[in-house]
Amino acid sequence: MNNFHDNLPDQFFEREDESSDELFYESPRFTTHIDDATIHNLTHYYRETLPGSFRLLDLMSSWISHLPQEINYHQVAGLGMNADELKGNPQLDSYVVQNLNDNPQLDFADHSFDAVTIAVSIQYLIRPFEVFKEISRILSPGGKCIVAMSHRLFPTKAIYAFHVLPPADRFRLVSAYMHQAGEFSSIETVDRSPPNADPLWLVVGTKERDLN
Ligand SMILES: C[S@@+](CC[C@H](N)C(=O)[O-])C[C@H]1O[C@@H](n2cnc3c(N)ncnc32)[C@H](O)[C@@H]1O
Closest CA relative to residue 188, chosen from 197, 179, 196 = 179
pLDDT at residue 30, as a whole number: 84
pLDDT of residue 1: 45
Confidence (pLDDT) at 5: 73
Best residue among 118, 124, 131, 156 to mutate for probing ligand 1, ranked by most atoms within 8 Å of CB: 124
The closest-lying atom of ligand 1 relative to the alpha carbon of residue 153 is 1
Mutational pocket test of ligand 1: of 62, 120, 122, 125, the residue with most ligand atoms within 8 Å of the beta carbon: 62
- 20 C-alpha to ligand 1 centroid (Å): 14
Question: 201: CA distance to ligand 1 center in Å?
Answer: 17
Q: What is the pLDDT of residue 212?
A: 57
Buried b (16+ CB within 10 A) or exposed e, 146-166: bbbbbeebbeebbbbbbeeee
CA 199 to ligand 1 centroid distance, Å: 18
Report residues of the chain scoring pLDDT below 50. 1
pTM: 0.96
3-state secondary structure of 123: helix
